[in-house]
Amino acid sequence: MSEQKYDAIVIGAGMSGSWAVKELCERGLKTLLLERGRDVKHIKDYPTAHMNPWDFEHRGSMPGKIIKDNPVIARCYAYREDNAHFFIKDMEHPYKQDKAFDWIRGYQVGGKSLMWARQTQRWSDYDFEGPARDGFAVDWPIRYKDLAPWYNKVEAFVGIAGNKDGLDMLPDGEFLPAWELNCVEKHFQSIIKKNYNNRHLIFARCAHLSKPKEIHIKQGRGTCLTRTECERGCPVGGYFSANSSTLPWAAKTGNLTLRPDSLVQSIIYNEEKGKATGVRVIDANTKEVIEYEAPVIFVNAGSINTVGMLLNSTSGRFPNGLGNDNGLLGRYVAFHNYRGIISAKFNGFLDKKVQGRIPTSTYIPRFRNLYQQETDFLRGYATTFGARRMRGPEETEAFGEDLRALLLENKPYLGPWKVGSRFMGETIPKKSSYVKLDEWEKDEWEMPILRISMDYDDNDMKMMKDFFEQMTEMYEKAGFEEIETIDTEQAPGLDIHEMGGARMGHDPETSLLNKWNQLHACKNVFVTDGACMTSTSTQNPSLTYMAIAARAANYAVDELKKGNL
């Protein structure tokens, strides 16, 4: 094929884009993968993977000047000296906050799959049927049965550690062995089981290879060593990233062309043919403008950037953005509410301590408003739970000869256990929440910068109040003491789960995408990242993005071979 013509183009080399390109390449399509950031090769480009704490100039913390210069990204829990190179700098990629929104980004091949939190939960029909049942947003055009085989495929390839928990609100999947809970986590699990019929504490399913299978060994990946240095990039491929898994697999087919440092300015729409014919790319370094052609285009640039790209793709047919006949492109964006935290101490099991680490926490799936509306707020929330043994004052406050004696004695004093949970609330997509192009200001590549407006509402506050009340009750039943609830008052965005803006639906009047993730008004353009989401659920969304991308990619190949695209 010529240098600028391909069978398919995928925009975005992250979590979902890598799955789209893997499927397209495996099905025989010569595919161009465009990534706005730099290339990152597995192992080779993980410069801090094997460094010790004392190898870092600031022992892992970020200097005050860098925090001052990057106030948004510095608020991210994962942003540290050992992986700052995977995050963008605020000043280099500006945006406008019409309402406060902390936009966390990683512009490189692999995207945020290099530093994600790796929890993976399936959605159930309680999630897909939620908007229709509860009267918000629009009805999802798919249900659990449509995604179930694709969840199977993704989980088997990625490698998900978990247990068969038998929960209707959190369907079981293709699991590797889970790690064992510690004694306090098991204690809390038993208290919940004893006192509640519809509440469950489980091992949080996560994308880690506890016991690799043949498919993972073929990918060149190895057993998770539970180093918990995942955000640096894992040299053994113990957790899933696009860099260690899907992208090398796609490259092996011989059908992949990867072009990093390539900002997609717009998708080109041909009015005579009535479809998109390619993309217009700006080289990030030289500013050269290049056009590439393909009959199939997948947009996976990350929810907000995907919306911006579609809005910037104007033509005589689509003066307000590609596929935007109803004016809803960029509307109904939403996120997860992570503002609530609860912590406590526990004086049980003082004869035990934790040995080693596990790569995730435990998880309490949503239990509110599942089977009927029982509260004064819509939808519900999930929560994490973790327990660790605290060090006592003798160890942390000793100095000089006292510290030397303590270390030589080799009997560090351990205090009580510390337990904690974080709120993960579903927010309701609203038309008033938006992503739009700024009319005047442009970035250094002459592309309009984005304006973002999302906020909490009364439903969010009522839900978080219920979280504090219910978790306090559960903590008390478990014998936890000194219970403290904290509203972090953080802006939306630090959840890093922004969704919507090009939502799926049945009706072109109220949605942008159909059940196969095609733009209603431009069938050969597919959107399979977070922008496609009609609602947010309470589960971590990455697994669902990957399943949606795999499903749509295989459909696209079938339609292309039939001559329908």
Whole-angstrom distance between the N-terminal and C-terminal Cα of the chain? Answer: 19
Q: How many CA atoms lie within 13 A of 399 on its CB side?
A: 1
Residue that is written with structure tokens 């087919």 in the block: 253
- The confidence score (pLDDT) of residue 24 equals 98
How far CA 420 is from CA of 187, 484, 494, in Å, comes to 14, 9, 19
pTM of the full structure: 0.96
- The confidence score (pLDDT) of residue 405 equals 74
How far CA 450 is from CA of 199, 264, 486, in Å, comes to 41, 15, 32
CATH topology of domain 1-53+84-162+241-334+429-451+498-565: FAD/NAD(P)-binding domain (3.50.50)
Residue 41's nearest CA partner among 13, 9, 4, 6 is 13
- The confidence score (pLDDT) of residue 356 equals 87
- The confidence score (pLDDT) of residue 557 equals 98
Q: Are 62 and 80 in contact (CB under 8 A)?
A: yes
Q: Are 492 and 102 in contact (CB under 8 A)?
A: yes
Q: CA 383, CA 373: separation in Å to the nearest integer? A: 20
Tens place of pLDDT per residue across the chain (565 aa): 457 999 999 999 999 999 999 999 999 999 999 999 999 999 999 999 999 999 999 998 999 999 999 999 999 999 999 999 999 999 999 999 999 999 999 999 999 999 999 999 999 999 999 999 999 999 999 999 999 999 999 999 999 999 999 999 999 999 999 999 999 999 999 999 999 999 999 999 999 999 999 999 999 999 999 999 999 999 999 999 999 999 999 999 999 999 999 999 999 999 999 999 999 999 999 999 999 999 999 999 999 999 999 999 999 999 999 999 999 999 999 999 999 999 999 999 999 988 889 999 999 999 999 999 999 999 999 999 999 997 765 555 667 887 777 767 655 667 899 999 999 999 999 999 999 999 999 999 999 999 999 999 999 999 999 999 999 999 999 999 999 999 999 999 999 999 999 999 999 999 999 999 999 999 999 999 999 999 999 999 999 999 999 999 999 999 999 999 9
DSSP SS3 for 344: strand
- The confidence score (pLDDT) of residue 401 equals 85
Q: Are 62 and 87 in contact (CB under 8 A)?
A: no
Residue that is written with structure tokens 């790690």 in the block: 179
- Which residues make Cβ contacts (< 8 Å) with residue 463, sequence separation at least 6? 337, 368, 375, 377, 379, 380, 381, 425, 426
Residue that is written with structure tokens 């959107």 in the block: 527
How far CA 453 is from CA of 142, 311, 334, 431, 564, in Å, comes to 28, 16, 10, 11, 38
Q: CA 301, CA 435: separation in Å to the nearest integer? A: 14
- Which residues make Cβ contacts (< 8 Å) with residue 409, sequence separation at least 6? none
- The confidence score (pLDDT) of residue 1 equals 45
Q: CA 559, CA 565: separation in Å to the nearest integer? A: 6
- The confidence score (pLDDT) of residue 394 equals 54
The alpha helices in 486-563, defined as continuous H runs, are 542-562
Q: Where are the domains of the chain?
A: 1-53+84-162+241-334+429-451+498-565, 169-204+336-426+456-491
